[in-house]
A and B are shown apart, each in its own frame.
Chain A
Amino acid sequence: MSALASPDAAVPAMLEVAHLSMHFEGITAIDDVSFSARRGEITGIIGPNGAGKTTVFNCITGFYRPSVGRIALDHEGGRFLLERMEGFRIARDAGVARTFQNIRLFPRMTVLENLLVAQHVKLMRASVFSIAGLLGLPRFREAEAAAIEVARGWLDRLGLVEAADREAGTLAHGQQRKIEIARAMCSEPKLLCLDEPAAGLNPRETAELNRLLLDIREDYGVGILLIEHDMAVVMGISDRVVVLNYGAKISDGTPEEVRNDPAVIRAYLGEEGDPPEINSRGSSPDRGRP
């Protein structure tokens, strides 16, 4: 996949966001933002607090309906205009999975059950609207065994096999973050949207997260869209970075280009001056999270 990592490669974009705007009763959260993301690449979205990063995510994943703009997703499953689709269809048909800023696992269900819910669509088809399942037909049993194997594979990768039968809500924060990413991947997405996956992780866990995301990109060739405050994550693993400020895109390019872009430096420091050290941990101005 490393061939795809170069932004100059002649690979067509998978996600094409064009002229996206979102107004909330007079407040403009996003103003004419356009960018694209390729499969097999990690596209980071950064920007100070309130820059509209999560709003962009919510538009892509169907939680908001954008006021203006087009969000097109192209892959072998077809072409999808996400701005017209209902949220669950975007996940089910277009293959967009997401995680949340504040983890949203199903806390009273076990980890394994969480990973099985993510495979609902294919299991539901195998259970023929529960009829084959109620009758215990082999067709359904095989599908369920296969789904459990998929889940086991992910838990193995995360080193959390022992936690499979524990209630998800009882796991440590860092483990929950990983399970949420695994859950999103269990739905076999084409595009994985991660909303601040490193929030609340310690440096060791952050390093593990970086490796996990790089592995996912290598092994599954999915496109990853990443909102992150932690510059160590964004600059370390992103193939491309999009910078938002006050709802508008101010820069777009490789991490190297973005880091040296005067507009980005202005947005982060408020005035021109020495280049900020935004390539090290903890230097971004808006790390408000504990």
Chain B
Amino acid sequence: MDLGNRFGDDGIQWGAILKDAGLAALVALVLALLLFGVRLSDGGGGGLEFRPWWVVIAVAAVFAGRAAVALWIGTRKPASGTALPWFDRAVARLSEHKRLLFAAFFLAVAILPLLPVADRRMVDLATLVMIYVMLGWGLNIVVGLAGLLDLGYVAFYAVGAYSYTLLAIHFDLSFWVCLPLAGAIAALFGVLLGFPVLRLRGDYLAIVTLGFGEMTRIIIINWSSLTGGSEGITGIPVPTLFGLRFTPSPAAGETAFHQFFGIPFGGIHKLIFLFYIILILALLTHLFSERMRKLPMGRAWEALREDEIASRALGLNPVLVKLSAFGLGAMFAGFAGSFFATRQGFINPSSFTFIESAIILAIVVLGGMGSQVGVICAAIVLILLPELAREFAEFRMLLFGGAMVAIMVWRPRGLLAHRVPSVRLGQAPPGALRGGLP
């Protein structure tokens, strides 16, 4: 319902507001009757207990809330382009110093695990957030830049994780050898899955990629001889730092990290090491995609997102443009997947369900399509908040949902929707445009 239309020049139209609030209250009544109104009594025997006051409170709350929202929206000016224009201005100003901000951010994050306050949980959480930041940046290539709505991104994450695991276990290859291999395999999968969906766009593409994501998971479950089925695979080796292992008691002839540096063994060393790996991987992803955006290929991705017909009329090969976006996006998911496998030490298909794809996509969309900083912010909101809010038990998801609704109300195009041009003519920002034409 468009509440904005309730208010003409004649002021507030109470009738319309009350009618609207009444309708909402009616819906609330139906829901509340069943949800709050009736309850199985604790005494046993299956008796029902009626709680009329709960229903009344719920209906009244919805009625008042809806009316308040209508009043609030109505007293504002008709919706302009984006909400919170001051925020947009601030973002635009900040993005002029993007490099500096990024450097500061990465430096701050890099120092984080070395601070005395850093404990295992904190480093672990930071690692988790960085995984999603990296996945977000990878998916950003596909969704944010090329505009291909991919709901099956987690499939490439899974391919990367399983590629690393199988290569490491069966061929005894080290993490550093497997990482590029896993990335390449995932990229290959990206291209293979990209082929059949080349003609699809928007909703149709989303549905098909969703199907591919689920297929990948189901194949992993059923191909037990290779993947261990739903049991998964355990005993995935941890990477070494130039041959130094993170173990309290290294095998004969090997040196452990703590022995080499002559410090007492600490479990946190391994976590910090893993954190730095993902930090570097994420940094690489960021640098790569920022660089790509300024290259002809990156501009072709954005052109394809903006208008596929026009880009074809300019001689862009849509097959090449789409497959390169799919392949490169998948490659970064493959890297992240390898890291995920080595961090967990075991993997099974339940880590690669649709909800993972949805969360990664939510990070990209809420962050603001195509925005690199937006992905960081959204990953912090979507990953860190639910983890920190564990004390709130079942209200956790309520907070989570509330945060998402709030973002969509105030920032419908994502937290940071500001797009920085990939190239400038090197002149002052547009002032007064000369009115005439030549």
Contact = CB atoms under 8 A, between A and B. Distances in A.
Interface of A: 61, 63, 87-89, 91-93, 97-98, 100, 104-110, 112-113, 116-118, 120-121, 123-124, 127, 129-130, 133-134, 144, 148, 151-152, 155, 157-167, 174-175, 178, 183-184, 187, 205, 208
Contacts of B288: 134
Contacts of A106: 302-303, 306-307, 310-311
A92 B419 contact: no
A133 B295 contact: yes
Nearest to B436: A159
Contacts of B438: 157-159, 208
B25 interface: no
A178 B436 CA distance: 13
A195 to B, nearest CB: 11
Interface string B275-311: 0000000000000100110011101101100110111
A165 B313 contact: no
A162 to B, nearest CB: 5
Contacts, number: 143
B435 to A, nearest CB: 9
Nearest to A193: B313
Nearest to A107: B306
Contacts of B303: 106, 109, 117, 120
B146 to A, nearest CB: 13
6 nearest A-B pairs in the assembled complex, by CB-CB distance: A92-B315, A106-B306, A91-B315, A159-B438, A104-B310, A164-B425
Contacts of B306: 106-109
Contacts of A124: 296-297, 300
Interface string B371-400: 000000000000000000000000000000
Given A108-B306, A130-B295, A148-B423, A97 B314 contact: yes
A90 B38 CA distance: 69
A157 B433 CA distance: 15
Given A120-B300, A134-B295, A166 B314 contact: no
Given A134-B291, A164-B425, A117 B434 contact: no
Given A92-B315, A184-B313, 12 more contacts: A88-B313, A88-B316, A91-B313, A100-B310, A130-B297, A151-B425, A152-B425, A159-B434, A162-B431, A165-B421, A165-B427, A205-B437
Nearest to A157: B438
Contact of A105 (B291, B310, B423, B424): B310
Contact of A112 (B291, B425, B434): B425
7 contacts: A106-B310, A133-B297, A161-B425, A162-B427, A183-B314, A187-B314, A208-B438
A161 B422 CA distance: 17
B312 interface: yes
A117 B300 contact: yes
Contacts of A161: 425, 427
Nearest to A93: B315
A251 B111 CA distance: 78
Contacts of A89: 315
B296 A120 contact: yes
Of B296, B297, B314, B315, the most chain A CB neighbours within 10 A belong to: B315
A132 B172 CA distance: 34
Contact of B430 (A88, A158, A162): A162
B296 A164 contact: no
Nearest to B300: A120
B425 A127 contact: no
